[in-house]
Amino acid sequence: MKECILYKPYKGKVQCLACANKCVISDGKTGLCGVRKNLKNKLYLLVYGKPVAVHVDPIEKKPLYHFLPNTKTFSFGTVGCNFKCKFCQNADISQEKTIMGQKYTVKKIVELALESGCKSISYTYNEPTIFIEFVKDVAELAHKNGLKNILVTNGYFTKKSLDFIAPYIDAMNIDLKSFSNDFYLKHSGTKLKPVLDSIKRVHKKGIHIELTTLLIPGENDSKKELENIAKFIASVDKNIPWHISRFFPMYKMLNKSPTELQSLKEAEKIGKKYLKYVYLGNI
């Protein structure tokens, strides 16, 4: 546990500034993600130094296809998330309410990454914005040791949290789950606009960026919506790679079938009208 940096006093409580939920948190309570707790009007990060999942992955698994290809990335995540996606592919850790994980110091993570021959560290599996101060400490030491840093994120940054972490981050894969605010509200309990703002800001900061959309039958796979996503990405930069990923029934969305290969192909065709690099994943 460590005191957070991204928060401020707010009407006798505290307000967290790590993500666009901007939770106002009373003494003794945690924010929506469950890992940032107000104790006597100081905000603490409960999962600091406590990864719950630690693996060495191929970088293409993040997915990043245009950044350090054919290298391994030291990957970890904690419990908790600021989204409540019904289709979450990692709900066992992201929606876990008990704070758990093994103790890893910042130094230990960087040493393990170097020992395992990785070229980068990925903050992934759950949403890294919620443990952003831990990310910053690891990422800073990683840079000093010649490693790159990768965020795999839902993009729900505040301007402040992105400015805070950007100097340490070399690449991001950001989920663009849909182009509909209703979809974000209904399935994740969040909003679309902060995600679009983040994508534009990350690109402007010169951080390498790739985007991912999980294609869910009947939810975000209409021709119109896919056109809107592709057009938006192209308006930022038509060279941004777009990964369209196949959905499999998970967590609270078990009533849907996996995405048909045909609809993935159609989405790819739409993407290629506007973008230079479109990839299908999970197939």
Q: Which residues here bind ligand SF4, judged by CB under 6 A?
A: 16, 18-19, 21-23, 31-33, 36, 82, 129-130
Closest contact distance (angstroms) between CB of 124 and ligand SF4 is 16
Of 14 and 199, nearer to ligand SF4 (C-beta) is: 14
Name which of 225, 254, 256, 255 is nearest 244 in CA terms. 225
Closest contact distance (angstroms) between CB of 57 and ligand SF4 is 24
Q: Shortest Cβ contact with ligand SF4: which residue?
A: 31
Closest contact distance (angstroms) between CB of 10 and ligand SF4 is 12
What is the 8-class DSSP label of residue 5? S
**Per-residue CA distances from 78 to 52, 53, 174, 224, 244 (Å):** 5, 7, 18, 36, 25
Query: In the beta sheet, which residues pair with residue 121?
Result: 74, 149
Q: How many CA atoms lie within 13 A of 186 on its CB side?
A: 10
Closest contact distance (angstroms) between CB of 96 and ligand SF4 is 14
What is the 8-class DSSP label of residue 257? P
Closest contact distance (angstroms) between CB of 35 and ligand SF4 is 7
Q: Quick check: 181 and 218 in contact, CB under 8 A? A: no
Of 73 and 190, nearer to ligand SF4 (C-beta) is: 190
Of 30 and 120, nearer to ligand SF4 (C-beta) is: 30
Of 3 and 260, nearer to ligand SF4 (C-beta) is: 3
Of 27 and 260, nearer to ligand SF4 (C-beta) is: 27
Torsion of CA 174, 139, 39, 77, to 10 degrees: 50
Of 47 and 171, nearer to ligand SF4 (C-beta) is: 47
Closest contact distance (angstroms) between CB of 201 and ligand SF4 is 17
Helix (H, G, I), strand (E, B) or coil at 90: coil
d(CA 129, CA 136): 10
